[in-house]
């Protein structure tokens, strides 16, 4: 099995994220595309993530001075140029040879946050060296081996990561039919072998298996205190979809929540992220920051998420589309397009700043 790219550049300008998606599919082998785009089971949640945004309508306000519009905001106290950041996604070298190094450089140039995956194609050290001034969080899958967890946290701290993002929705891997049909067996480490993602680890410890083992299935709320005891970094929980878990997150003193269903790749037939966002935001009552990912494809989607209480949104697949099309430049273009669309939508709806985006801006369609 080989994950590969096809040759050829774009023939027409790519002017929206849908253009990048269409061109990226042409650039990648079927196996690579299916891994990036693949959903769990029947793909109900995958489709709902996008469709749910379209059930929301905007209520613009006019006759306001819109000569200056500012998309800047802050997350965990650090300023970003726009409330549009990069979710942790695995194995960026599927899409582009330089993988996460290119993604990190684009994020640094855009002045937004990049959450680097535990399953990156390159070492954390190589990624940070590619973009040393970048604003980065580290996504950590908790393992049964707490020494390994501690080592990963210490590496992240030493490399200047500003927060830990703990993905909580993967006690087991979702049922991804496309990968099965393509005989892409993550459990057997085929993907990691093809991507050479463990090259450095295997040089030192040829039998090392920890990075490809599943997250600890028994990891639970009570384990958070142990994690908090080994780091001073803010802890963000990614994968919360209910008010009950949002309330528990606050009870356990985490600093943020990412409302996420893993892009529809884990448990199918859960709520769309934008629908779950309302429930979570209502539960936390502004006490901690709430972010979301899943289904964001346009600037109006970003506007709607912010109006429903997200501090910012995170992008997953669209970043890989940009990477597959043009590498670092493609990622930067995806970010620029979405930021420009958000700026235009804010201008047309009467919001001079991110702080002015409020629930009054939206209504829910009956469609």
Q: How far is CA 184 from its chain centroid?
A: 22
Q: Does 23 count as an annotated binding residue? A: no
Q: Does 89 count as an annotated binding residue? A: yes
Q: What are phi and psi of 204, to 5 degrees?
A: -90, -40
E strand or H helix at 75, and its extent?
Answer: strand 73-75
d(CA 191, CA 15): 32
Q: Does 41 count as an annotated binding residue? A: no
Half-sphere exposure of 303 (CA within 13 A, CB side): 30
Cα angle value 101/179/269 (rounded, 5°): 100
Q: Where are the alpha helices (DSSP H) in 252-354?
A: 273-284, 299-307, 317-326, 328-349
Q: Does 316 count as an annotated binding residue? A: yes
Q: Does 238 count as an annotated binding residue? A: yes
Cβ–Cβ < 8 Å for 86, 314: yes
Q: Does 141 count as an annotated binding residue? A: yes
Where are any strands of DSSP class E within 164-294?
164-167, 235-240, 256-259, 289-293
Angle between helices 317-326 and 17-27 (to 10 degrees): 60
Q: Which residue has the tokens 């059930």?
A: 55
Beta bridge partners of 85: 314
d(CA 27, CA 37): 14
Q: Does 317 count as an annotated binding residue? A: yes
d(CA 137, CA 310): 18
d(CA 277, CA 294): 11
Q: Does 296 count as an annotated binding residue? A: yes
Cβ–Cβ < 8 Å for 149, 140: yes
Task: Determine which one of 23, 92, 262, 343 is catalytic.
Answer: 262
DSSP-derived 3-state class of residue 127: helix
CA atoms 33, 39, 42, 48: torsion sign:
negative
Q: Does 193 count as an annotated binding residue? A: no
Q: Does 322 count as an annotated binding residue? A: no
Q: Does 117 count as an annotated binding residue? A: yes
262 catalytic residue (yes or no): yes
Q: Does 176 count as an annotated binding residue? A: yes
d(CA 156, CA 118): 11
In this structure, the dihedral spanned by the alpha carbons of residues 34, 240, 166 and 287, taken in order and rounded to 10 degrees, is 140
Binding residues for glyoxylate: 141, 167, 176, 260, 262, 265
The catalytic residue positions are 262
Binding residues for FMN: 88-90, 117, 139, 238, 293-297, 316-317
Binding residues: 88-90, 117, 139, 141, 167, 176, 238, 260, 262, 265, 293-297, 316-317
């Amino acid at each position: 099995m080989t994950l590969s790219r096809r040759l050829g550049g774009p023939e027409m300008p790519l002017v929206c994220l849908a253009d990048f998606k269409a061109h990226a599919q042409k650039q990648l082998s079927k196996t690579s595309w299916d891994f990036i785009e693949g959903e769990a089971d029947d793909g109900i949640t995958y489709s709902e993530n996008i469709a749910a945004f379209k059930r929301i309508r905007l209520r613009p306000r006019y006759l306001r001075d819109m000569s200056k519009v500012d998309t800047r905001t802050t997350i965990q106290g650090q300023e970003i140029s726009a409330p549009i950041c990069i979710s942790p996604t695995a194995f960026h070298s599927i899409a582009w040879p330089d993988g996460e190094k290119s993604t990190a450089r684009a994020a640094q140039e855009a002045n937004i946050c990049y959450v680097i995956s535990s399953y990156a194609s390159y070492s954390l050290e190589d990624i940070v060296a590619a973009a040393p001034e970048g604003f980065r969080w580290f996504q950590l899958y908790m393992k049964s081996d707490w020494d390994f967890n501690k080592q990963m946290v210490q590496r992240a701290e030493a490399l200047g990561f500003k927060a830990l993002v703990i993905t909580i929705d993967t006690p087991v891997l979702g049922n991804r039919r496309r990968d099965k049909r393509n005989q892409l067996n993550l459990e057997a480490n085929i993907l990691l072998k093809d991507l050479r993602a463990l090259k450095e680890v295997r040089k030192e410890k040829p039998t090392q298996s920890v990075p490809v083992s599943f997250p600890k299935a028994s990891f639970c709320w009570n384990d958070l205190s142990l994690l908090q005891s080994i780091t001073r970094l803010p802890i963000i929980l990614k994968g919360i979809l209910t008010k009950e878990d949002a309330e528990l997150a606050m009870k356990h003193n985490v600093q943020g929540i990412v409302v996420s269903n893993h892009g529809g790749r884990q448990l199918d037939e859960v709520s769309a992220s934008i629908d779950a966002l309302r429930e979570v935001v209502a539960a936390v009552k502004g006490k901690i920051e709430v972010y979301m990912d899943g289904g964001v494809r346009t600037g109006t989607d970003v506007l709607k998420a912010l109006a429903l209480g997200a501090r910012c949104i995170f992008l997953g697949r669209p970043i890989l589309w940009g990477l597959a099309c043009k590498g670092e430049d493609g990622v930067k273009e995806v970010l620029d397009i979405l930021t420009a669309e958000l700026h235009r939508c804010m201008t047309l709806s009467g919001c001079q700043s991110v702080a002015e985006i409020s629930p009054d801006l939206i209504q829910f369609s009956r469609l």
